[in-house]
């Protein structure tokens, strides 16, 4: 599957913003079980958090489990880090030892 680092559903404010989620730089090869279940569940959970919070989200992948058409590396792992903040101003000042951080590293 083509796993989106930033999901299409999260960039629906404009057609251009949504179209950009389909660039290859926003995709990583993901096993169907990861993409359609675990990764999607985390995206849905994050959307629920965002109803009353803000978040910084970092996602990526690493490792080499082979290649697709000798060009695209299949990662062994995919990760996501979510920094959850209550809505407000001056983000850096709102990050402290009590800030909720969700960090996952999932086998692909």
Active site residues: 4
Residue by residue, DSSP assigns the chain as -EEESS-GGG--SSHHHHHHTTSGGGEEE--HHIIIIIIHHHHHHHHHHTTTEEEEEEEEEE----EETTTEEPPSEEEEEEEEEES-S-HHHH-STT-EEEEEEEE-
């Amino acid at each position: 599957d083509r796993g989106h680092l930033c999901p299409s559903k999260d960039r629906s404010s404009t057609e251009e913003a949504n179209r950009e989620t389909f660039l290859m730089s926003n995709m990583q090869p993901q096993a169907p079980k990861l993409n359609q279940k675990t990764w999607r569940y985390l995206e849905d959970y994050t959307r629920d958090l965002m109803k009353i919070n803000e978040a910084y989200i970092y996602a990526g992948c690493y490792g080499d489990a082979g290649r697709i058409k000798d060009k695209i590396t299949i990662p062994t792992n995919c990760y996501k880090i979510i920094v959850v903040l209550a809505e407000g101003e001056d983000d850096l000042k709102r990050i402290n030892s009590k800030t909720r951080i969700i960090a996952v590293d999932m086998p692909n």
